[in-house]
Amino acid sequence: MRKKKSILLGPVITIVILTFIIMIISSIFSILDIQGEVTKITNGSLETSVVGVKNIFSKEGLKFFFSSPIETFKNFKPLVLLIISLMAVSIGKASGLFKAIFTPMKRLKPGIVTFLTLFIGIISSFLGEYGFILVIPMSAVIYQYLGRNSMLGILTSFLGVSMGYGAGLVFNYDDYQLGLLTKAAVAVDVDKDYIFNAWSNYYAMLATTFILSILGTIVIETILKPKVKESIREEDELIRSRKGLVWSIVAFIILMFLAVYSIIPGLPFSGILLDNTKVDYVAQLLGDKAPFQDAFGFVFLIIMMICSGIYGLISKNLKNTNDFSVGLSKEFDNLGYIFILLFFSSLMISILNWTGLGTVVASWIISFMSSLEFTGLPLIITLFIMVILMSILIPDAITKWQLSSPILIPLFMKANITPDFTQFIFKAADSVGKGITPFFVYYIIMLAFLEKYNNKESNKITVFGTLNLLKSTTLIFMVIWLVIVIGWFIMGLPLGPNTTTTL
């Protein structure tokens, strides 16, 4: 008997199908008047309102569907960040600078390379979205020069940034915003004198960074690596120049000094990239209105252009200004596909957000949590699972915590669990959720890079095929996170300076 051929759905068709599923489900919910209740903090008090799902097939919905795609795509932030990042990576590669830096690292053992990729991915969470945009394309290039499979590098870096989003060596702006929401939730319903400490989860974050990096390396090398089919490696004839590397390093040090000086407050002509209207330094540096937030990508591009230009001209890899100009676009080769994916992804995400489907589903999950009479470990494990489920439709941590913190923080405090530990549980689950949802735009970007470096016809890159490929690995990462959370609670270890797991 002949085996039935399975239908292979490419990423674009899958995204289109997911978009129509969202449209149909939201329309049914709207027609049936299915609603949820959302509790928010407004002017220092709790306000509960009923939220419904909007019908995309209504007059208003169809107007949005046909009129919004161009504007949405034009203002789609990941697209702009990606273009800037690709220009920086392109010139670094075309000039031969990356080859000079990374080729000597071939002597490193594969496990060390995997560890470093995961570790850098995890600590890049400090940069927020830039972590995905910088680490994924860079890891592909680095693996190429190390003689390893670029596709494995892309998957490893994505796992590092997404699964390690709740860890890191320092807290990021998301942590800061989550903390402010936590503080508001405590003050409005339980303790007006509660003080939020931005470093409250620091010990747990630091330990988790190394645990995930070490255990994640073992998981990737033993489980994921054998599943990733080898791609054909491309060789280049770029010249390596010791003199060019030395001068590039000198330029890099000078430029980095200037960049760091621009974010130090209080010195002559310093702090030009800070939002001086804020009191806390992390808000000054990474706040919504902080110049550094928008300037980082451009500053990175300038540094790469100057350092790569110096190296390319000295090594003769770039013979003239025309070579330099063309070099800025090299990494865009075979990547037109990513812009198609991003267009359809931006449409899918905008429709999901417009309908409010994710908010209603999240409100049900939060209501379910609030009805439980669990305490201790059952409550912790339930929150962990519920946040992962919420993340499928709402990958953004701040949005989820705005919806859930006013209910969950008092609930956990009644169960004798501190707000700081509740926030840590939430961050752990949010990290896992980011890595398993096709509604997360950086997952789609990761797929596009896999396709770029996939030059074997037998390798088929699909939305759910890649999720299936990562299934065992992400499941183990989830278990590791859960064990860390449970272990921290049982042992009663301090989360950070003067911060405990229980009240």
Q: Is 184 helix (H, G, I), strand (E, B) or coil?
A: helix
pLDDT at residue 193, as a whole number: 79
For 433-447, how does the pLDDT look when each residue is reduced to its tens digit (9 = 90+)? 999 999 999 999 999
For 311-342, how does the pLDDT look when each residue is reduced to its tens digit (9 = 90+)? 999 999 999 999 999 999 988 877 788 899 99
Q: Is the dihedral of CA 283, 286, 292, 293 positive or negative?
A: negative
Residue 487 has pLDDT above 80, yes or no: yes
Residue 4 has pLDDT above 80, yes or no: no
pLDDT at residue 254, as a whole number: 97
Higher pLDDT, 239 or 480: 480
First to last CA, the chain: 65
Higher pLDDT, 338 or 222: 222
C-beta separation of 359 from 397 below 8 A: no
For 100-119, how does the pLDDT look when each residue is reduced to its tens digit (9 = 90+)? 999 999 899 999 999 999 99
Report d(CA 84, CA 79) in Å as an integer.
Answer: 9
Report d(CA 168, CA 160) in Å as an integer.
Answer: 10
For 43-82, how does the pLDDT look when each residue is reduced to its tens digit (9 = 90+)? 778 889 999 999 999 999 999 999 999 989 988 888 888 9
Using 50, 70 and 90 to split pLDDT, how confident is the model at 303?
Answer: very high
pLDDT at residue 204, as a whole number: 95
Name the DSSP class of 227.
G
What is the separation of C-alpha 68 from the centre of its chain, rounded to a whole number of angstroms?
A: 25
pLDDT at residue 135, as a whole number: 93
Using 50, 70 and 90 to split pLDDT, how confident is the model at 1?
Answer: very low
DSSP per-residue codes, 325-348: HHHTTGGGTT-HHHHHHHHHHHHH
pLDDT at residue 221, as a whole number: 95
Looking at every residue in the chain, the average pLDDT score rounds to 90
Q: Is the dihedral of CA 110, 114, 117, 119 positive or negative?
A: negative
Q: What angle do CA 438, 40, 405 make, to 5 degrees?
A: 65
Residue 240 has pLDDT above 50, yes or no: yes
Task: Please name the amino acid found at residue 98.
Answer: F
* Percentage, residues of the chain above pLDDT 90: 68
Q: How far is CA 213 from CA 79, 310, 436, 488, in A?
A: 29, 35, 19, 18
Residue 151 has pLDDT above 60, yes or no: yes
